[in-house]
Structure 1
Amino acid sequence: MDPHLLRTFVTVVRTGSFSAAAAELGYTQAAVSQQIASLENDLKATLLHRRPVGTTEAGARLLEHAGPILLRLQAARSEIVRMSGAPRARLRIGASPLASAHVAAPLARARAAHPRVEASVQVMARAGIDAAVAAGDLDIGLVDGIAAPSDPLRLADTVPLAAVAVAERPLALVLPSAHPLASRPGADLDDLVDALWLDVPDVAVPLPALRQATGSRDGFRASLTCEGGDLPFLLALIAAGHGLAVLPVGAADGAGLAEVPVRTPRIVHRTELLHSRATDPATAAFVAALS
C-alpha cells in the first residue's frame, strides 16, 4: 500500500472534500481523485462516497489503521534523521498543563550547557504530545495521567519513544471547603459516580479515565465541560460550585479548597518525560537534568 495514497485518503476524510484536500496537499483536484481511485483499485474496495464525501464501511476500517501506520512511518523518518544528521540548534518542548511545572529547572540547565540552542515551550493538551514527539514536531514531551502505583502511563502502541518517570503523586478529590464531603478522611470514587463532575480533560483527571479506573460505564457525567483552561481556572470553577475534580495532592494548595485523598481505586498521578530514542545534545542535557 502506497503511503502517499494513504495520506491523501486521510486528508480527504479529515477535510471532507476532494478540493480542500487538494489545496492542503498541493495537488490538483483531479490528481487527488486519481490517487483515491488508485488506492481503491489496489484494495479492490470502494473507500469513499463521493457526494457527499464520507467513508464506506471499508473506508472506515482503513481509517482506523491509517493513523498509526502514517505516524509510525513519520516516527521512523524522524528518528533516522536524528541519527544521521548534525546536532540541531533548537529544543522544542511540549507539556501538558500540570506537567509544565517540571520544565523550568532542567530547561535552564540544558540552555546553560548549550547556550546557542533556540528553545521553545508549548503548554498543550495531553492527547497528541506523544505523537508529536514521535513525529519529530517536538523534541521533548512532558505528559501526565493516572496509573496504578509504579506502572507507566499508557501510550499508543504505535509510538516508539523512550519514557522516563518524572514524578508520582497521590490523588485527591478537590471540592469546596463547605462541601458535605470535605470532612471525610478519604474518598472512594466508586461511591461518587453520580456526583457533579467538571470535565476539564487537559487539567483534571479526564472523566473517561475515572470510568475506566472504577469500571463504571455511565457514571462520572459532566456538569460542565471546558476545553483547554489551566489549573487556576479549574480551581475557580470548583470554588464556585460547578462540580468536583480529581487532581494530584497539593494542586489546590492556597486556593481555599478541600482535598480528600482518594482511597479507592488504587491509582496515582504520574508524570513522564518522552523523547525519541535518538537524541541530540540539547535534548540529552534536558533529560539528564530532569532525571
Structure 2
Amino acid sequence: MQKLLVSKDLAKRELAKLKEELESFNLEEKLRLGIIQVGDNPASNKYIQYKMKVAEQLGIQATLYKFADTISQDQLLKKMDRINEKEDGIIVQLPLPEHIPTQVILDAVPYEKDIDGLTTKNAFRLYNETKDKHFIPATARGVLELMEYYNIDVKDKKVCVVGRSAVVGKPLAHIIKRRGANVSTYNETTGIKGIESGDIVIVAIGVAKYVKAENLKKGAIVIDVGTNLDNQLTADLCGDVDFDNVIDKVSAITPVPGGVGPMTVVALMKNLIDIIR
C-alpha cells in the first residue's frame, strides 16, 4: 500500500463512469442540484466551488442558494420550500450559524432528495437497516469507497473513529462494525486516549491538527476527514490530523486536501444519480 492515500485517480475514474451512465439515461432535462449555504465560511466556499465544478462536468445543473448569516430560521425555511420544489437533489452546506438549529434545517429537505443522507428519516432507515431506500451520508460513502480502492480491510481490525457526527463518525462506525471490525468511538468530550491501539484511525472531529504522532501507534492507517482553514491569508486547508507530525509514524494516511474530499463529492453525485436509477 502506498503511504499517501490520494483519491485523484479514483475520483477521475468514478466520475467518468457516472458521466457515461448519466448520458445513457437520455434525460429530457438536466438533473438539478441545489446547494444551500448560509454565511461565507472560506472552507465551505472552496468545497462548494468544487461541487459545482464536478456537477458541471457531469452535465448536472447545480445552483447555489447563498444567504447571509443573519437570516432567521423561519426565513430560511420559507426559502427552502421554494428550493425543494425546483431541485432533484439538495445539499445543505454545513456548518450553519449557531442561531439556526441544524437538524431542523436538514429535516426540511425532502428525504428522497436528501443526497447528503442527513435527514432524521434517512438516518432511521440507515441505522435500523430497513429495506426502504436510503442514502449513505456522502462523506461516509466516500471514505468507504476510498478504503475499498486501497484494499483496506476492516474485518477483525481495531478501528478507532474520532468524532460522532451524523455526517461521518456515526454512520462510519455503524457500517464498519457491520463489516466485522472492532470499533471504538471518541470525541472531544471523551478525549482520544485509547486511539493509540487502533490499526485504523478515522478522524472527523472538526479540530485542526487535533491528532498528533503521540496519539497513534506505529504503522497505523489514518483516514483524515477534516477540512479546516490552516491559514486565513492564503485560505490553505489542513486536516484534523497534524500531517507533518505523524507522517513518519503511520503506514498510510489521506492528505488534506486531496484525500477524502474528492471522494465525498463523487459520493454526492452517486447519491444524486441514485434518485433516477
TM over 0.5: no
Higher strand fraction (1 or 2)? 1
Larger radius of gyration, structure 1 or 2? 1
Between the two structures, name the one with larger relative contact order (CA 8 Å, sep ≥ 6).
1
TM-score in terms of structure 1 length: 0.29
